[in-house]
Amino acid sequence: MTQAVNAHHVTVRYGETLALDDVSVEIGTARVCGLLGMNGSGKSTLFKALTGLVRPDHGEIRLLGRDQQQARQEGLVAYVPQSEAVDWTFPVTVADVVMMGRYGHLGFTRRPRRADRAAVHAALERVGLTDLAGRPIGELSGGQRKRAFVARGIAQEAQLLFLDEPFAGVDRRSEATISDLLRSLRAEGRTIVISTHDLSSVPELCDEAVLLQQRVIAHGPVEEVLAPANLARTFGVETAAEPS
């Protein structure tokens, strides 16, 4: 069976800093996988390596049974960055952000066609942002911004979505809305990988989890990965309470 993520022996250094040390991860399709680890444990770096934004010093990556580059060119992979990594003063509307997901689909004129507008419309409806389509993205709440970026991935028709800290800075209601949305994407056969340092969101949403601390500490069913011994090793705590 095709795996959504097939990463082997991935090592990433930023100068003197070893961010990822020989990380190997395989994730099946139609799963929600939680990537867990403390601040600085390498979660964002792993996402960037998997999505081609950072070039590993070493390692092999295949996505959805394809060469990583090929999967990206086919528009099968979407990345929703951490909120801090986005310039929210950039003057674009919510609909503009979602239309960015269609760039790979636009014809040689680069002008959106009816099908592109329909895809944007459908994606906005799916995430419940139709009424805010014309608003500048910077005026949205944290949870709404996340949903706008997920809509971009939906409009792109991505089959593998990486969400960096999707629940950071969002209230419980938005968290529930985003979780429901991710479940419905999974039900369509898409694979979602979320990074988080907030363990409370993991048991309910995720089918599996990866515990990262430069290396993979544990990977498997959530309850096994969240076993006290693993948490103590990674977070230095004995319980599943929020670690940071």
Ligand X SMILES: Nc1ncnc2c1ncn2[C@@H]1O[C@H](COP(=O)(O)OP(=O)(O)OP(=O)(O)O)[C@@H](O)[C@H]1O
Residue (6 or 213) nearer to ligand X, CB: 213
* Dist. CA 139–CA 194, nearest whole Å: 24
Shortest Å, Cβ 55 to ligand X:
12
* Dist. CA 213–CA 228, nearest whole Å: 16
Residue (44 or 144) nearer to ligand X, CB: 44
Residue (32 or 162) nearer to ligand X, CB: 162
Shortest Å, Cβ 237 to ligand X:
16
- Burial annotation 15-30 (CB, 10 A radius, 16+ → b, else e): eeeebbbebebebebe
Shortest Å, Cβ 156 to ligand X:
23
Residue (102 or 219) nearer to ligand X, CB: 219
Shortest Å, Cβ 39 to ligand X:
3
Which residues make up the interface to ligand X (CB under 6 A)?
14, 17, 19, 37, 39-45, 197
Residue (40 or 136) nearer to ligand X, CB: 40
Shortest Å, Cβ 145 to ligand X:
17
Residue (40 or 52) nearer to ligand X, CB: 40
Shortest Å, Cβ 101 to ligand X:
24
